[in-house]
Structure 1
Amino acid sequence: MQINRLPTGAHYLMEGIRLITHPQLRAFILVPLLINLLLFVIVTGVLIQQFDSAIDWLMSWLPGWLDFLAWILAALVALTVLVAYGYSFSVITNLIAAPFYGLLAEKIELHETGVAVESEPLRQMIPRTIGREFTKLWYFIVRGIGIAILMVVMSFVPLLNLLVPVIGILWGAWSMAIQYVDYAADNNRWRFTALREQLGGNLFSTYGFGGLVMLGTMVPVVNIFIMPAAVAGGTLYYIRELSRADTDT
């Protein structure tokens, strides 16, 4: 398989979907799936309640002479809300389920390579993995605010406003790749900055993988199951394209 290609990155997720059904790995996705199911009910309920209000608020700000743009703006808002929904669902779920996803990534790496990562007691792994999630969350918040400001400014500029959804999609795909490849990288004690550098050096695989994961998180019900598969796919990506890199750890 050729590396650093959009189809290759997307294929990692498809392999991950197949991999989590393996008899030796099924037990490690049960708790994350239960967490996903509970949060799915909560987050999706909030989305349904707020979506109509967001559309009405936007239309109230649209001058009458621009009514012909209403359907375009509604479509852009719908796409933005879906991206935000998938992103929020992923962040909240991963923060809670991080130790279980770390364990799943560890078992997948052992299954694929036959080499076990350095083990540690659960009482040490839980605070370490949750701490790593907060590191990622801080990164997502700080960069996300800057990108959100840029998108708001661009939305008032004719023609440039058409790029707003593209920027949102690229940011979402990059974030999803970081989120799900990081479980294997963290298990192998990679620095967070080293992971970002390596993902940036393999942008096509990164966006192929992260883009398909983001699409899955935007689809209700599918997003319940996509996250364990994304952990599996991200671990495969780490093993096949990133693990030989010099990370100065």
Structure 2
Amino acid sequence: MRSLRDFGSGVGFFLRGVGWVARNGRWWLFGLIPAVIAFAVYVVALILLGTNAMSLAEFMTPFADSWSWAQAFRVTVAIALFLGGLALAVVTFAAITLTIGEPFYEKLSAKVDGVEEADGQPWWRTLPRSVKDSLVTLMFVLMFTVPLFFLGFVPVLGQTVVPVLGAAVSGFFLTVELSTLGMERRGLLRKDRFRLLRGNLPVTLGFGVAVFLLFMVPLVAVVAMPAAVAGAALMVRERLAP
């Protein structure tokens, strides 16, 4: 029961982030700028993937040339490639948007955190470290999502357990990215951030899964990004690293 309450608490932090940006419309618009830029890049990339998915499927499955059902199999592979690319886009959207818009989201997160001016080094000096941390996180994401991608082809398992695990993994790493600003403000290194998130796993998953599911809806990721940053700042301040 406590785990369920904590999961609900994580969802609640995101909803509180929505409430915060709703009351502070200027900051919401401020946070949309980098999200719109990142979204445009992802739209182009997904269009290219969608238009070339069948060619990629044919390239990846030369062994199926002699199969009577090769076309149907390759269509399935092409669909899986696109859905896999879409899921990867959802997971990495926060990291790319935060990297592009670090000066924007640092100010937004600090405002939610009750800090008028963010302490620490200027954003251009912390950018290399942020990129490195995002690449490390991406490596962990791929370690989990690539096996899940192939497990998705397993009958029954791929349509039941795998989507749930995928949402949990994606949600966890979304929370990793979104909580970075608030935790770095408190001087926490990457290993300390991961430790805190694992130690508060139900809250972490509640927040991250809610964000992940919303980010799967076209355009919602852009609109909800400032709220996700605000909610993460509240969660770090009140629950993870008060």
Segment of structure 1 superposing worse, 55-64 or 32-41: 55-64
When residues 6 and 81 of structure 1 are mapped into structure 2, their CA distance, relative to the original with a 3 A threshold, is same
Does the 8 A contact of 1:13 with 1:233 survive in 2? yes
Q: 2:222 aligns with which of 224, 227, 236?
A: 224
When residues 33 and 238 of structure 1 are mapped into structure 2, their CA distance, relative to the original with a 3 A threshold, is same
Q: 1:144 aligns with which of 141, 151, 169?
A: 141
Structure 1 residue runs of 5 or longer lacking an equivalent are 111-115, 245-249
| Corresponding residue number in structure 1 for 2:196 | 198
TM-superposed deviation, 1:233: 0.7
TM-superposed deviation, 1:5: 2.0
Task: Measure, in 2, the Cα distance between the counterparts of 1:48 and 1:37.
Answer: 16
| Corresponding residue number in structure 2 for 1:22 | 23
Task: Measure, in 1, the Cα distance between the counterparts of 2:7 and 2:58.
Answer: 37
| Corresponding residue number in structure 1 for 2:113 | 109
TM-superposed deviation, 1:177: 0.5
| Corresponding residue number in structure 2 for 1:53 | 52
Q: Secondary structure at the match of 2:217?
A: coil
Segment of structure 1 superposing worse, 210-219 or 157-166: 157-166
TM-superposed deviation, 1:239: 1.9
Task: Measure, in 2, the Cα distance between the counterparts of 1:38 and 1:128.
Answer: 22
TM-superposed deviation, 1:182: 1.6
User: 1:14-35 deviations in whole A, cap 9, x for unaligned?
Assistant: 1111101224xx4444343122
Task: Measure, in 2, the Cα distance between the counterparts of 1:27 and 1:126.
Answer: 21
TM-superposed deviation, 1:168: 3.3
| Corresponding residue number in structure 2 for 1:13 | 14
Q: 1:80 aligns with which of 81, 84, 100?
A: 84
**In the TM superposition, what are the counterparts of 1:117-156 in structure 2 within 5 Å?**
119-120=118-119, 124-151=121-148, 154=151
Does the 8 A contact of 2:22 with 2:28 survive in 1? no
Does the 8 A contact of 2:57 with 2:75 survive in 1? no
Q: 1:90 aligns with which of 88, 94, 116?
A: 94
Task: Measure, in 1, the Cα distance between the counterparts of 2:214 and 2:126.
Answer: 24
Task: Measure, in 2, the Cα distance between the counterparts of 1:51 and 1:75.
Answer: 9
Please report the RMSD computed on the Cα atoms of aligned residues, expressed in angstroms.
3.2
Task: Measure, in 2, the Cα distance between the counterparts of 1:71 and 1:166.
Answer: 24
Segment of structure 1 superposing worse, 30-39 or 211-220: 30-39
| Corresponding residue number in structure 2 for 1:113 | none
| Corresponding residue number in structure 2 for 1:181 | 179
Q: Secondary structure at the match of 1:20?
A: helix
Tell me, yes or no, if structure 1 residue 171 matches structure 2 residue 175. no
**TM-score, scaled to structure 1:** 0.77
Structure 2 residue runs of 5 or longer lacking an equivalent are none
Aligned length: 234
Identity of aligned residues (%): 24
